[in-house]
Amino acid sequence: MKMKRLTIISCLLLLGIMNSSFAQAKKEKPLYKDANAPVEKRINDLVSRMTLEEKVYQLNQVLVGNNDNPNNVGEAVKKVPAEIGSLIYFGYDPVFRNSVQRHAMEESRLGIPILFGYDVIHGFRTIYPISLGQACSWNPELVKRSCSVAAQEARISGVDWTFSPMIDVARDPRWGRVAEGYGEDPYTNAVFAVASVQGYQGTDLSNTKNIAACLKHYVGYGASEGGRDYTYSEISKQTLWNTYLPPFEAGVKAGAATLMSAFNDISGVPASSNHYTLTEVLKDKWKHDGFVVSDWDAVKQLIRQGVAGSKKEATLKAFQAGVEMDMNDRYYLQSLAELVNEGAIPIEKINDAVGRVLRVKFRLGLFDNPYIPVKAEDKRYLLPENLKTVEKLVEESIVLLKNEKNTLPLSTKSRLAVIGPMAKNKEHLLGSWSAHGKAEDVVSIYEGLESEFKNMKLLYAEGCDFDGNDTSKFAEATKVAQGADAILVCLGEKKTWSGENGSRTLSLPQIQENLLLELKKLGKPIVLILSNGRPLELNRIEPASDAIVEIWQPGVNGGRPVAGILSGRINPSGKLAMTFPYSAEQIPIYYNMRQSARKNKGGYQDIPNNPRYEFTYGLSYTTFKYGELKASQLKIKHGDKLVVEIPVTNTGIRDGAETVHWFISDPVCSITRPIKELKFFEKQVIKAGETKIFRFEVDLDRDFSYVDETGKRVLESGDYFISVKENNIIVELVN
Ligand code: GLC
């Protein structure tokens, strides 16, 4: 009996202890750590617990990992302040990344996870075409799937946040960063902004296959004057709203978690201290609830740009404008607290900024799931199904620019000379911002030909280097070419000749052009393959080429799609998302310019006024015939539904994919408008002899209106032209 009583008492005692420790634990487990609590409650709870110093840390991003090899993990980890808000993580080692995260979770007072960011621009390890090439595919679904591949590889490697997509409308191909965006058109950049955000973020950021996106560079960076980088951009409010903001508005509406403020000076107010764009537009008008990170040292650069006289003033200007997180220069780390303490910055503003950063972290699930599984690299990268996805994107991004005398497809019985610095190169096919892409992963053009043309005799010579003036290998190249039936000349740009701080003229180095001209003397068919990060000037080599294939910088799966197009296995379907000027002297030249006030006047006297290749230009191995444009009604009023259709027939002997681009023009308006504006596009495969109907469901407010300088959409009555190639139809909008 006694024993029984003793047992009951000890059980009760144990229960009591458990209860109190549970209650204790319950008491100690703060709301912000409760995975079931609503995010906004968790944010408020956490912010209320934070000191000013801890808040300031959350508004800073520094670097880790680029030179931390495994045996000094301890050192690197200790160097990182446990309270830091974000790191740019240059590594991809889950063990190292988890050790840094554990440092934050367990060695800081509140255990706030670090947000690891990195430039995953067109792939993490499975590199796919540069964005300018992606745009030429006119296939947003494929871009979305490729971004999803990048997100999976990034997240499983410790990166939760990419500084992508870059959606800067750009019209000056001398600017190296045209490679990173989706070309010259606002609507095109908007469509691919949405596709990228959906690909990166999926439908649930806490899913560990997804990462947070970052719309950049906000805003107007593509207007950098003279195509030079880090410079001035003259942008009127009207142009800001009609040209540069639309892709960002689309990306924000698609749920982009973050934006990055740009380097450029917007008509006297730098993008990174521009209250109008960063707060009045982004936060007040578009209600963005994520955060803005500055571009690298962009806060510090406000001093050189001349709007701040000190570190403190630069910090004040950027923060007050609406930049929540400071990348790399540590200005916020050094000056924010002081500015708060002296009353220059209200603590409510700090709390709002911190709340925005925490919101992204909570949505990513980092508080509840801060660590990543440790998987071997071959289980993370270059997976077969992912390689297939990106190979399809390469196929559709390639643009056939010229094909005289049906030089292409090549007959497989011929002997082909493969000449040029790009023929066997792998590194430069990766393009700029190639993250953890490795040259060894790349299928070169030559390797692609080897696997495609089993019975073809391939003859090879490098011919010359990418630049310099060493013509000593010309003779060998000529000799090799003499033994061939056709000559494939593979030329282009190094990956560093575009991208950031990559402004150049549009010409290929003379040595490359001279090699092609030397080979032309042999009188054999010349097929020019171009791999480059910008539209080029082709005046000297276009006439000497019987066919020209623009492959951009295709990434790991470069060679096979190129070879597939040369053999005819693939019918090229790419079309230009950016104009190829006749020459740099024409710049700026782009499809949606205003027209001259005088018909056929005002152009140049001594060079052509048309570009070499216009926006949406691209050839196919088949031919398409466009039928009659039909509208559901020719007189419409506000609120009406307008549907326009056009039949397209494949009049050739082989199947092909065709993209139909729908433009609108508003010939009479209270402001001048571009000659035409792209408002919709659709790509369909059409079998030989088949006809497909392409439909454009016009939303009058969205598609016919313009945005005035206050950001208001204005829809005026009157005639509107809807056009597809040279076909157009007039509809009248009545009051
Ligand atoms: C660079 C680029 C920006 C990039 C950032 C981080 O300067 O301008 O696009 O995301 O710094 O690397």
If you measure from the C-alpha of residue 120 to the centroid of ligand 1, how many angstroms do you get, rounded to a whole number? 11
Phi, psi (deg, nearest 5) at residue 69: -85, 160
Structure tokens at 531: 């791999």
pLDDT digit string (tens) for 526-557? 999 999 999 999 999 999 999 999 999 999 99
Task: State yes or no: pLDDT of 26 exceeds 60.
Answer: no
pLDDT band at 79 (very low <50, low <70, confident <90, very high): confident
Which class in CATH covers the domain with range 624-734? mainly beta
Task: State yes or no: pLDDT of 1 exceeds 60.
Answer: no
pLDDT band at 412 (very low <50, low <70, confident <90, very high): confident
The reported pLDDT for the residue numbered 486 is: 96
Query: 3-state SS of the chain: helix, strand, coil percent to 5?
Result: 35, 20, 45
- Cβ–ligand 1 distance for 500 under 6 Å, the answer yes
The reported pLDDT for the residue numbered 75 is: 58
The reported pLDDT for the residue numbered 578 is: 98
What average pLDDT does this structure show over 112-128?
98
Q: What are the helix and strand counts (H, E) for the chain? A: 20, 28
CA distance 573 to 137: 7
Residue 632 falls in which region: left (phi positive, over 0), alpha (psi -120 to 50) or beta = alpha
Full-model pTM: 0.95
User: Is the peptide bond preceding residue 373 cis, with omega within 30 degrees of 0?
Assistant: no
Closest CA to 409 of 325, 488, 524, 521: 488
If you measure from the C-alpha of residue 249 to the centroid of ligand 1, how many angstroms do you get, rounded to a whole number? 21
Closest ligand 1 atom, residue 216 Cα: 9
The reported pLDDT for the residue numbered 153 is: 98
pLDDT digit string (tens) for 369-406? 999 999 999 999 999 999 999 999 999 999 999 999 99
CA distance 576 to 586: 18
> What percentage of the chain reaches a pLDDT higher than 90?
92
Q: Which helix (H) or strand (E) holds 680?
A: strand 677-686
Closest CA to 275 of 312, 310, 239, 323: 323
What average pLDDT does this structure show over 180-184?
98
* Residue 300 CB contacts under 8 Å (≥ 6 apart), including other chains: 311, 314, 329, 331
Give the residue whose CA is nearest to atom 11 of ligand 1.
Answer: 296
DSSP label at residue 23: H
Task: State yes or no: pLDDT of 21 exceeds 60.
Answer: no
> For tokens 């095109």, what's the residue?
188
CATH fold label, 398-586: Rossmann fold (3.40.50)
pLDDT band at 735 (very low <50, low <70, confident <90, very high): confident
- Cβ–ligand 1 distance for 218 under 6 Å, the answer no
pLDDT band at 71 (very low <50, low <70, confident <90, very high): very low
The reported pLDDT for the residue numbered 475 is: 98
Per DSSP, which regions of 539-671 are E strands? 547-550, 624-626, 630-631, 635-637, 642-650, 656-665
What average pLDDT does this structure show over 637-655?
96
366 within 8 A of 32, measured Cβ to Cβ = no
Per DSSP, which regions of 463-534 are E strands? 486-492, 526-531
Catalytic residue among 93, 172, 265, 295: 295
The reported pLDDT for the residue numbered 80 is: 81
Q: In whole numbers, what is the pLDDT of the chain averaged over residues? A: 95
Instruction: Give me the residue spans of the domains in the chain.
Output: 26-363, 398-586, 624-734
What average pLDDT does this structure show over 649-666?
98
Structure tokens at 658: 């065709």
Structure tokens at 349: 């503003």
CA distance 620 to 265: 42
> For tokens 């070499």, what's the residue?
612
- Cβ–ligand 1 distance for 221 under 6 Å, the answer no
Closest CA to 262 of 327, 197, 201: 327
pLDDT digit string (tens) for 301-332? 999 999 999 999 999 999 999 999 999 999 99
At 522, which amino acid appears? Answer: L
If you measure from the C-alpha of residue 226 to the centroid of ligand 1, how many angstroms do you get, rounded to a whole number? 20
* Beta strand 656-665 pairing with 718-724: antiparallel
What's the number of CA atoms in the CB half-sphere (13 Å) around residue 114? 34
Residue 429 CA to its chain's centroid (Å): 17
The reported pLDDT for the residue numbered 182 is: 98
Residues in the chain, total: 735
The reported pLDDT for the residue numbered 67 is: 43
Task: State yes or no: pLDDT of 68 exceeds 70.
Answer: no
The reported pLDDT for the residue numbered 69 is: 42
Task: State yes or no: pLDDT of 14 exceeds 60.
Answer: no
CA distance 76 to 374: 19
Mutate which of 296, 297, 327, 503 to test ligand 1's pocket (most atoms within 8 Å of Cβ)? 296
Task: State yes or no: pLDDT of 502 exceeds 90.
Answer: yes
What average pLDDT does this structure show over 262-287?
98
* Residue 406 CB contacts under 8 Å (≥ 6 apart), including other chains: none
If you measure from the C-alpha of residue 534 to the centroid of ligand 1, how many angstroms do you get, rounded to a whole number? 19
- Cβ–ligand 1 distance for 296 under 6 Å, the answer yes
- Cβ–ligand 1 distance for 163 under 6 Å, the answer yes
CA distance 161 to 159: 6
Q: What CATH code would you report for 26-363?
A: 3.20.20.300
Give the residue whose CA is nearest to atom 7 of ligand 1.
Answer: 296
pLDDT band at 64 (very low <50, low <70, confident <90, very high): confident
pLDDT digit string (tens) for 592-637? 999 999 999 999 999 999 999 999 999 999 999 999 999 999 999 9
655 within 8 A of 688, measured Cβ to Cβ = yes
- Cβ–ligand 1 distance for 295 under 6 Å, the answer yes
DSSP label at residue 675: S
pLDDT digit string (tens) for 513-523? 999 999 999 99
The reported pLDDT for the residue numbered 699 is: 97
Task: State yes or no: pLDDT of 413 exceeds 80.
Answer: no
Mutate which of 116, 500, 501, 503 to test ligand 1's pocket (most atoms within 8 Å of Cβ)? 500
Say whether 470 is catalytic.
Answer: no
Closest ligand 1 atom, residue 119 Cα: 10
CA distance 565 to 549: 9
